[in-house]
Amino acid sequence: MGDGLMLDDAAVRWSRPQTDAPVTVLLHGYGSDENDLFGLVPHLADDAVYAAVRAPLAPRWPLSGHSWYDIDEPGTRDAAGITRAARALLDWLDARGLDRVGLIGFSQGGAVALQTLRLAPERVRFAVNLSGYAADEEREEDARLTELRVPVFWGRGSMDEVIPRAAIDFTAGWLPAHSALSGRVYPGLGHTVSGEELEDLRHFLAKQA
Protein backbone atom coordinates (compact mmCIF):
# COMPACT_ATOMS: atom_id res chain seq x y z
CA MET A 1 0.00 0.00 0.00
CA GLY A 2 2.86 2.39 0.85
CA ASP A 3 4.57 1.83 -2.52
CA GLY A 4 7.71 0.48 -0.90
CA LEU A 5 8.02 3.14 1.81
CA MET A 6 8.08 1.87 5.39
CA LEU A 7 8.22 3.70 8.69
CA ASP A 8 10.79 2.46 11.18
CA ASP A 9 8.74 1.26 14.15
CA ALA A 10 11.89 1.08 16.27
CA ALA A 11 12.43 4.83 15.79
CA VAL A 12 8.99 5.85 17.09
CA ARG A 13 9.00 7.86 20.32
CA TRP A 14 6.01 7.19 22.58
CA SER A 15 4.92 9.53 25.35
CA ARG A 16 3.83 6.42 27.26
CA PRO A 17 3.13 2.81 26.36
CA GLN A 18 0.38 2.21 23.84
CA THR A 19 -2.91 1.53 25.64
CA ASP A 20 -6.60 1.89 24.88
CA ALA A 21 -6.23 5.67 25.23
CA PRO A 22 -6.55 7.77 22.05
CA VAL A 23 -3.31 7.97 20.05
CA THR A 24 -2.09 11.15 18.38
CA VAL A 25 0.69 10.79 15.81
CA LEU A 26 3.31 13.54 15.41
CA LEU A 27 4.75 14.13 11.91
CA HIS A 28 7.90 16.24 11.71
CA GLY A 29 8.99 18.52 8.89
CA TYR A 30 11.64 18.31 6.17
CA GLY A 31 15.19 17.59 7.36
CA SER A 32 14.12 16.78 10.90
CA ASP A 33 13.28 13.63 12.84
CA GLU A 34 11.00 12.13 15.47
CA ASN A 35 12.60 14.15 18.27
CA ASP A 36 11.43 17.49 16.88
CA LEU A 37 7.67 17.54 17.51
CA PHE A 38 8.06 15.22 20.49
CA GLY A 39 9.26 18.31 22.33
CA LEU A 40 5.72 19.70 22.04
CA VAL A 41 4.18 16.89 24.09
CA PRO A 42 4.44 18.66 27.50
CA HIS A 43 2.46 21.57 26.01
CA LEU A 44 -0.37 19.45 24.62
CA ALA A 45 -3.40 17.71 26.09
CA ASP A 46 -2.17 15.09 28.54
CA ASP A 47 -4.99 12.55 28.15
CA ALA A 48 -3.69 11.16 24.85
CA VAL A 49 -0.84 8.86 23.95
CA TYR A 50 1.58 10.61 21.57
CA ALA A 51 3.67 8.76 19.01
CA ALA A 52 6.35 10.72 17.12
CA VAL A 53 7.28 8.88 13.92
CA ARG A 54 10.31 9.28 11.65
CA ALA A 55 9.84 10.05 7.94
CA PRO A 56 11.14 7.25 5.68
CA LEU A 57 13.33 9.23 3.26
CA ALA A 58 16.58 11.18 3.46
CA PRO A 59 16.49 14.78 2.21
CA ARG A 60 18.81 15.81 -0.57
CA TRP A 61 22.43 16.51 0.37
CA PRO A 62 23.69 18.51 2.21
CA LEU A 63 20.73 18.41 4.61
CA SER A 64 20.61 15.84 7.37
CA GLY A 65 17.56 14.32 8.99
CA HIS A 66 14.60 12.79 7.19
CA SER A 67 11.86 13.74 4.76
CA TRP A 68 8.41 12.52 3.78
CA TYR A 69 8.86 13.21 0.07
CA ASP A 70 11.40 14.80 -2.25
CA ILE A 71 11.24 18.50 -3.02
CA ASP A 72 12.93 20.66 -5.63
CA GLU A 73 12.12 23.83 -3.71
CA PRO A 74 10.57 24.42 -0.28
CA GLY A 75 6.81 24.06 -0.25
CA THR A 76 6.48 22.25 -3.56
CA ARG A 77 3.19 20.38 -3.73
CA ASP A 78 4.20 16.94 -5.00
CA ALA A 79 0.80 15.24 -4.75
CA ALA A 80 2.16 11.81 -5.72
CA GLY A 81 4.97 11.98 -3.17
CA ILE A 82 2.64 13.22 -0.43
CA THR A 83 0.22 10.39 -1.19
CA ARG A 84 3.02 7.82 -1.09
CA ALA A 85 4.06 9.07 2.35
CA ALA A 86 0.46 9.07 3.61
CA ARG A 87 0.01 5.46 2.48
CA ALA A 88 3.19 4.49 4.33
CA LEU A 89 1.76 6.10 7.46
CA LEU A 90 -1.49 4.17 7.01
CA ASP A 91 0.51 0.95 6.64
CA TRP A 92 2.24 1.68 9.94
CA LEU A 93 -1.10 2.38 11.63
CA ASP A 94 -2.37 -0.97 10.30
CA ALA A 95 0.69 -2.79 11.64
CA ARG A 96 0.18 -1.19 15.04
CA GLY A 97 -3.54 -1.93 15.07
CA LEU A 98 -4.37 1.77 15.31
CA ASP A 99 -7.68 2.86 13.87
CA ARG A 100 -9.04 6.26 14.92
CA VAL A 101 -6.03 8.52 15.49
CA GLY A 102 -5.28 12.21 15.70
CA LEU A 103 -2.57 13.68 13.47
CA ILE A 104 -0.32 16.67 14.15
CA GLY A 105 2.13 17.64 11.41
CA PHE A 106 4.54 20.50 10.80
CA SER A 107 5.30 21.72 7.24
CA GLN A 108 5.84 18.52 5.20
CA GLY A 109 4.33 16.60 8.07
CA GLY A 110 1.28 18.85 7.91
CA ALA A 111 0.84 18.04 4.23
CA VAL A 112 1.08 14.31 5.00
CA ALA A 113 -1.42 14.68 7.86
CA LEU A 114 -3.98 16.26 5.53
CA GLN A 115 -3.35 13.71 2.78
CA THR A 116 -3.79 10.84 5.24
CA LEU A 117 -7.09 12.42 6.24
CA ARG A 118 -8.09 12.53 2.57
CA LEU A 119 -7.16 8.90 1.91
CA ALA A 120 -8.88 7.49 5.00
CA PRO A 121 -11.20 10.09 6.57
CA GLU A 122 -12.94 7.55 8.80
CA ARG A 123 -9.62 6.69 10.46
CA VAL A 124 -8.65 10.21 11.52
CA ARG A 125 -10.32 11.88 14.50
CA PHE A 126 -8.71 15.23 13.76
CA ALA A 127 -5.77 16.69 11.86
CA VAL A 128 -3.46 19.58 12.77
CA ASN A 129 -1.52 21.38 10.04
CA LEU A 130 1.22 23.64 11.41
CA SER A 131 2.89 25.77 8.72
CA GLY A 132 1.87 23.24 6.09
CA TYR A 133 -0.45 22.93 3.13
CA ALA A 134 -2.76 20.57 1.25
CA ALA A 135 -1.77 18.67 -1.89
CA ASP A 136 -3.14 20.50 -4.94
CA GLU A 137 -5.22 17.78 -6.56
CA GLU A 138 -8.73 16.34 -6.72
CA ARG A 139 -9.43 12.97 -5.10
CA GLU A 140 -12.60 10.91 -5.17
CA GLU A 141 -12.28 10.43 -1.40
CA ASP A 142 -12.79 14.18 -0.94
CA ALA A 143 -16.56 13.75 -1.30
CA ARG A 144 -16.66 11.49 1.75
CA LEU A 145 -14.39 13.85 3.64
CA THR A 146 -16.78 16.71 2.92
CA GLU A 147 -19.62 14.69 4.44
CA LEU A 148 -17.69 13.80 7.60
CA ARG A 149 -16.36 17.31 8.33
CA VAL A 150 -13.43 16.07 10.39
CA PRO A 151 -12.01 18.80 12.70
CA VAL A 152 -8.84 20.43 11.37
CA PHE A 153 -6.62 23.09 12.91
CA TRP A 154 -4.44 25.11 10.53
CA GLY A 155 -1.95 27.58 11.95
CA ARG A 156 0.65 29.55 10.02
CA GLY A 157 2.78 32.66 10.31
CA SER A 158 2.16 35.80 8.29
CA MET A 159 5.92 36.03 7.62
CA ASP A 160 6.39 32.42 6.54
CA GLU A 161 8.52 32.67 3.40
CA VAL A 162 9.07 28.92 3.02
CA ILE A 163 5.62 27.90 1.80
CA PRO A 164 4.74 29.44 -1.61
CA ARG A 165 1.70 31.68 -1.93
CA ALA A 166 0.09 29.27 -4.42
CA ALA A 167 0.16 26.49 -1.80
CA ILE A 168 -1.35 28.79 0.83
CA ASP A 169 -4.08 29.97 -1.54
CA PHE A 170 -5.08 26.44 -2.52
CA THR A 171 -5.16 25.28 1.09
CA ALA A 172 -7.16 28.33 2.18
CA GLY A 173 -9.83 27.42 -0.36
CA TRP A 174 -9.72 23.65 0.07
CA LEU A 175 -9.79 23.26 3.87
CA PRO A 176 -13.03 25.16 4.63
CA ALA A 177 -14.84 23.18 1.93
CA HIS A 178 -13.72 19.79 3.21
CA SER A 179 -13.36 20.01 7.00
CA ALA A 180 -14.57 21.61 10.20
CA LEU A 181 -11.78 24.16 10.12
CA SER A 182 -10.27 26.13 12.97
CA GLY A 183 -7.41 28.34 11.87
CA ARG A 184 -5.31 31.35 12.61
CA VAL A 185 -2.61 33.43 10.97
CA TYR A 186 -0.02 34.67 13.49
CA PRO A 187 1.30 38.18 12.70
CA GLY A 188 5.08 38.39 12.39
CA LEU A 189 5.62 34.64 12.72
CA GLY A 190 7.86 32.83 10.25
CA HIS A 191 8.13 29.12 9.44
CA THR A 192 7.94 27.97 13.03
CA VAL A 193 5.55 27.45 15.94
CA SER A 194 4.99 30.10 18.61
CA GLY A 195 3.82 29.88 22.20
CA GLU A 196 0.58 31.56 21.21
CA GLU A 197 -0.01 28.94 18.53
CA LEU A 198 0.68 26.15 21.02
CA GLU A 199 -1.94 27.61 23.34
CA ASP A 200 -4.47 27.66 20.51
CA LEU A 201 -3.52 24.09 19.64
CA ARG A 202 -4.01 22.98 23.23
CA HIS A 203 -7.52 24.46 23.24
CA PHE A 204 -8.28 22.71 19.94
CA LEU A 205 -7.09 19.36 21.27
CA ALA A 206 -9.15 19.75 24.45
CA LYS A 207 -12.29 20.03 22.31
CA GLN A 208 -11.45 16.74 20.56
CA ALA A 209 -11.29 14.74 23.80
Tell whether 80 is covered by a domain.
yes
Q: Which residue range is the domain that position 27 belongs to? A: 9-207
pTM: 0.94
Tell whether 193 is covered by a domain.
yes
Tell whether 133 is covered by a domain.
yes
Tell whether 2 is covered by a domain.
no
Tell whether 31 is covered by a domain.
yes
Q: How far apart are the first and last CA of the chain?
A: 30
Tell whether 1 is covered by a domain.
no
Determine the pLDDT at residue 15: 95
Q: At what angle do helices 108-119 and 79-96 cross, to 10 degrees?
A: 70
Q: For residue 110, what is the domain's CATH number?
A: 3.40.50.1820
Determine the pLDDT at residue 82: 94
Determine the pLDDT at residue 60: 77
Quote the number of domains for the chain: 1
Which residues are registered as beta bridge partners of 53?
A: 27
Block mean pLDDT (10 aa), the chain, length 209: 81 90 94 95 89 93 85 67 96 95 97 97 97 92 94 98 92 96 97 96 92
Determine the pLDDT at residue 2: 47
Tell whether 4 is covered by a domain.
no
Which amino acid, residue 169? D
